Structure 1
């Protein structure tokens, strides 16, 4: 049982309802937890985080626009697909990273929220290659800025910016001792306290973006420090003999049983996926990796609990809490050893939970519409009362309130531009370098992928939800190829292009 679970259970309602909720009159606070590489299979081990769905809304079909960190985050900040942001990889030399994103900062959601009189704070991981150092730049729209560079992947011995607009503090610090996710929890608590003191009559927007559970960078096999480094208290010999796995016994967690399609026959797949069965040594490594990822997300779950426990009852009545991941991750599914970058659900279908302000009414809602990270820009501005902010996405606020939207999209676009794959990329691994560029459509019933090398994949999800039997010659493919080309090339009409016949 996690340390802050009791607090959240006391806050959570127990009534399940289906009726739509009414809009609230005042501008609420917004807290956005954006986690790095958290696949949906880890959510079952995160009690505090799962409780956000109590008197909240869970989106079962939330898909990222690109299953790589930087392009996905750029889509969230701007509300646009990667082919419209131009942020295609993690590295500036390869049409990605901060050099590609910087020009968008003035049109991201922070400046828009600031114009609505929100007090804004950002902490944790921002965009790959953002320069963290003594002369750091605070992007427009942020009142607080506590950002960590690439050393944050190791969770220790990192530099962090410290900027608070009202006090004039602007400094760069090194921290060699504090586990980073724990420091972000404390910094988020401090932001809430400062908001009460510095701006008691302004709503706040707080974004907390831990690096966990991303793997260490760089990592060399054989090192004592694990590839996925949990907090010391959550490791074997910490507070529990076998480590903390969120209430489950760590030795009983077996990746080969936990993850669907683990080591499944890939003879039906495109050439880049087809490979021999995983060997015993590889399975043992993945078993260790998965247990450490479960242990690693306990600190994320603690962070969620600490931040929510910091809110007063009155603040909980006035606050949206959003939890999402920038992309998923695979560990042996379809014989893909470690990584992301694919269009399979384990990489692109990630958690999105929204806990609603307490005074908007009770009810646990599950929405099955196709939603994407390009919708978050419009959603945050809609929550803030700024009106329509449509770009490639649309506001999720009506769905969060359980209000049906008859003309909602029925198709998600997933894009991937094959990275050059230099060692400077924190997501560099053999798989990321080998995945060809592709464009994909995902509906409730279909996954269709076209690769730049001419190969294709099609899965009828009604009969093959685990995407194990590729059948690119089915007649349905002919109905999807044209809409995919239209959506992958959209500029101003992306919403209309996301409505596919039979989707």
Structure 2
């Protein structure tokens, strides 16, 4: 038996309505397809995150033009936004990087001090970006002890990495990590690799996120050949706290091991011949330093202690600034590439560092403290058509804790509820959310350790700061003491008001806020084992003072 199938005939207007309805359905499905990351969309920008090691705002002319000109970093600020209160959660290299990967404080991501190994199996923002269709790459310094996960491509320095001829780790054809030697200046090599990936390594039909990360200007500040003599005829301005005697604060400030006067060694000061250079590199190096060193050594015995410290400061500051100059050059090359390849308009560029740094302030080099110079890190962001060019965010408290969440929102990905920061995208648009943080929690764990900075945690609201030092002390006992600074009256943090009755109300409020933040972030008690303190960095042969660290 044959079944008769009835066929409905539609007139033209009805057919058009059906067609439009189906088209609308397809449009919705396509939108879902795009949002899931399966296709590229112009409203999901590329991301270039430029990151350096130990770069302070005192050496970035968009913040302070008294020591150096950084035109390419400044370009990001002029074409975008400068943030004046970007605070780090834990002012040291590896922990800062782990915070950025996870959007979580050190105690939550498990990487609290250098020497830990980052657990790459945990949730990280690059993995989440991959899920929504982004290509991800990390090139340069990694410093987390484990093989990068969540990246379509990685090519990273082995360990800390040298300034010249670095071994770098990438994956072989089987996806296994392999170490390859390189010849040249590390900052330039990292720049070359970033440009090569942008040009040849990515799928140009997909959005990308590139982490472009430099070793410089980390200790021991070895300049590129082209900059070895740059600044020779310039005297770098000394910070007003170079001669700090650490009175007015508790004992930790005096008992560190990071003074220019005592703890810089001959390798830092380029008074010894560097290792690992090719014969040609060494020839260029010696041509730059030999005569200058001989001139100093010939008169050192007749110099006063103050004259020696002044010489050390000039040598250190110039080498540091020379390293920054090379980074700025490489940033310029990447920005020029974006321009030349029509990528600028749809690429968010962010610049930051793992924390600030002491460029002689308080007589120091290094970082670690909750004092302003190392708590504050540079943050510049450019997003054409969204961020107002030349804008400055003066007062909002931002952090490296916010970077992961920012990248995820830019990519249209969900921000996991267990991340502890907040996306900066509203601030990019000039709109501060009503619930934006008005205080900030900091925690440093690495004692005993390099430079002998006591463990401490604290809270700041940008105007007042409360710091608590705790745990093992330099004398083998325990420390339990507080500092409070009024940043409006005492921006250099030279006098603690913790025991001043006039600040009793402010201290009580800060203590209450500190406890609130510790509960909010579920901060556990510090249960690190008490280890024997490390021997401080060896003193240079020309040191005339003894370290106060015991």
Normalising by the smaller structure, the TM-score range is: 0.7 to 0.9
Shift of 1:273: 1.5
**Does the CA contact (< 8 Å) of 1:149 and 1:159 recur in 2?**
yes
Which structure 2 residues correspond to residues 92-491 of structure 1 after superposition, within 5 A?
Answer: 97-98=116-117, 101-102=118-119, 104-130=120-146, 137=147, 139-150=148-159, 152=161, 154-163=162-171, 171-175=178-182, 177-195=183-201, 198-216=202-220, 228-236=221-229, 243=230, 249-256=231-238, 259-274=239-254, 279-280=305-306, 281-311=308-338, 312=340, 314-335=342-363, 337-356=364-383, 358-360=384-386, 362-367=388-393, 368-390=395-417, 391-421=419-449, 428=450, 432=451, 434-452=452-470, 453-473=479-499, 474-475=503-504, 476-491=506-521
Q: CA deviation at 1:42?
A: 0.7
Is the radius of gyration larger for structure 1 or structure 2? 2
Aligned residues: 415
Residue 85 (structure 1) aligns with: 109
Give the TM-score normalised by the residue count of structure 2. Answer: 0.71
1:31 aligns with 2:56: no
Mapped to 1, the partners of 2:176 and 2:443 lie a distance apart of 40
Q: Which SS does the other structure have where 2:362 is aligned?
A: coil
Q: Normalized against structure 1, the TM-score is what?
A: 0.78
Displacement of 1:200 in angstroms is 2.1
SS of residue matched to 2:454:
coil
> Deviation string for 1:438-465 (max 9, x for gaps)?
1011212111101101221111112112
1:6 aligned residue: none
State the partner residue of 1:4: none
Deviations 1:329-358 (A, max 9, x none): 2143223x32211111111101000011x3
Q: For 1:250 and 1:482, locate their aligned partners in 2 and report how far apart those are by CA, in whole Å.
A: 51
CA drift of 1:25 comes to 5.8
2: CA distance between counterparts of 1:164 and 1:118?
22
**Contact 1:151–1:157 (Cα < 8 Å) also in 2:** no
Matched, 1:56 2:80: yes
Contact preservation (8 Å) 1:125, 1:209 = yes
- Check the 8 A contact 2:54/2:354 in 1, yes or no: yes
Q: Distance in 1 between matches of 2:101 and 2:160?
A: 23
Change (3 A) 1:380 1:401: same
Unaligned 5+ residue runs, structure 2?
1-40, 62-67, 262-304, 471-478, 525-550
How far 1:168 sits from its partner (Å)? 7.0
Hey, what's the Cα distance between the residues in 1 that align with 2:379 and 2:411?
19
> Does the Cα contact within 8 Å between 1:381 and 1:389 map onto a contact in 2?
no
1:273-313 Cα offsets, whole Å, 9 max, x none, are 13799542233212210111111111100110011111135
Q: Aligned partners of 1:78 and 1:375: how far apart in 2?
A: 10
2:60 equivalent to 1:43 = yes
Root-mean-square deviation (CA), in Å?
Answer: 2.4
